[in-house]
Amino acid sequence: MAEFIILFLLFYIWHGLGTTVGYHRLLSHRSFECPKWIEYLLVLGGYLSFEGSPIWWATVHRAHHRHVDTPLDPHSPRYGLKNAHLGWLMHETYPEHINPSVQAKDLIKDPVYQFLEQNGKWHRAHALSYGLNISIRIVILLCFGWVAALASLLAAIAVLQIPLMLNVVCHIPKLGYKNFANNDDSVNVWWVALLAMGEGWHNNHHMYPGSAKTGLTKWEFDASWALISLMKKFGLAGRVNVCPQDLPERQAAPPKRRTFNLDIKIDQPLSIQKRMNFHRPLHMQRAVRIHRPLSLQRPMHIQRAVKLQSLNAPVNSKR
Ligand SMILES: [Zn+2]
Ligand SMILES: [Zn+2]
């Protein structure tokens, strides 16, 4: 039993970080750079937890940020929980407004990702992913026995739930809290952050999608950021984007809903602003004008580096 638990945790960490650091922060947002072999190692961890084609994953995720919580968002719970959880996966190919050859040009050049993409035919790409995932477990079974194979399979299935659950839970305002009064439903949810290696700080992430770091207070632990900063420390990551500043430390456990005005400029007197932010559901708040650094106004995958001053060691990337 002890062997199973240890193996399960090790596989969970690899598949989890493969998804959060590899698929999400590296491929989808280009929030940092690293050598190609590390990119493949991370992406392999995500692929072996049934995450599917990296091009597909990143393209759909970029569309989610571009159209967040509007009818064009591929999986906003505003338009139905079933669709937000699994329904959106059932399509055969991309909807008209999502096109990887336009929105993921940086990824379609890679021959490995191109092969896994299967020309944008979702059912073929999913079938390939499931086939390779099952095959690798058969290899593990034959080489290392059923304990290792079962631990690997169950860890992968558990990690698969991370983005599916996050897409729903972190876009239902009453389930979490906001650090930023942005105009979508994204919220921070501590238990999702714990299971999802830091990805549950989703309101922070929607505020700064190009940042490699999403936990912004001392207690908002971000395991994915811990790995990226460790990689930077050992010269395994080059450029690393981070948001301009951390939020002030909290005094205690987070309130259910709270807004900070750090880095946000609202063109209303403070009294109106307070009424607006604290007494209306967030998705009904009047439009606020959010001041963002110039680099964060560009498409996410080509955002200009906002360099982390404390981590400005020489770039060691050989991409
Ligand atoms: Zn989101
Ligand atoms: Zn994202």
Asked if the structure places residue 144 within a domain, the reply is yes
Ligand located closest to 74 CA: 1
The answer to whether residues 13 and 112 belong to one domain is yes
Last residue of a domain, one of 218, 249, 280: 249
The answer to whether residues 219 and 142 belong to one domain is yes
CB proximity list for 234: less than 8 A, separation 6 or greater: none
For residue 54, the model assigns a pLDDT of 96
Angle between helix axes 122-144 and 36-47 (nearest 10 degrees) is 90
Asked if the structure places residue 145 within a domain, the reply is yes
Per residue in 122-155, pLDDT (tens digit) is 999 999 999 999 999 999 999 999 999 999 999 9
Q: Which domain holds residue 299?
A: 272-312
For residue 159, the model assigns a pLDDT of 95
Between 50 and 284, where is the model more confident? Answer: 50
Ligand located closest to 19 CA: 2
The answer to whether residues 89 and 135 belong to one domain is yes
For residue 232, the model assigns a pLDDT of 94
The answer to whether residues 146 and 213 belong to one domain is yes
The answer to whether residues 165 and 205 belong to one domain is yes
241 - beta bridge partners? 307
| Global pTM exceeds 0.85 | no
The answer to whether residues 130 and 279 belong to one domain is no
- Tell me, in angstroms, the distance from the centre of ligand 1 to residue 245's CA: 21
- Tell me, in angstroms, the distance from the centre of ligand 2 to residue 62's CA: 7
Residue 285 has pLDDT above 60, yes or no: no
- Tell me, in angstroms, the distance from the centre of ligand 2 to residue 23's CA: 10
Q: What is the mean pLDDT of the chain?
A: 80
- Tell me, in angstroms, the distance from the centre of ligand 2 to residue 31's CA: 10
For residue 246, the model assigns a pLDDT of 59
Is the C-alpha dihedral spanning 220, 224, 227, 231 positive or negative? negative
The answer to whether residues 167 and 302 belong to one domain is no
Asked if the structure places residue 254 within a domain, the reply is no
**Domain count of the fold of the chain:** 2
Q: Which of 53-67, 75-89, 218-232, 237-251 has the lowest mean pLDDT?
A: 237-251
Asked if the structure places residue 266 within a domain, the reply is no
CA distances from 254 to 190, 194, 220, 305 (A): 9, 15, 10, 31
Rounded Cα–Cα distance for residues 244 and 264 (Å): 12
Amino acid at 301: H
Ligand located closest to 24 CA: 2
- Tell me, in angstroms, the distance from the centre of ligand 1 to residue 280's CA: 21
Asked if the structure places residue 318 within a domain, the reply is no
C-alpha 33: how far from its chain's center? Answer: 16
Per residue in 41-98, pLDDT (tens digit) is 999 999 999 999 999 999 999 999 999 999 999 898 988 888 888 878 888 888 889 9
The answer to whether residues 169 and 307 belong to one domain is no
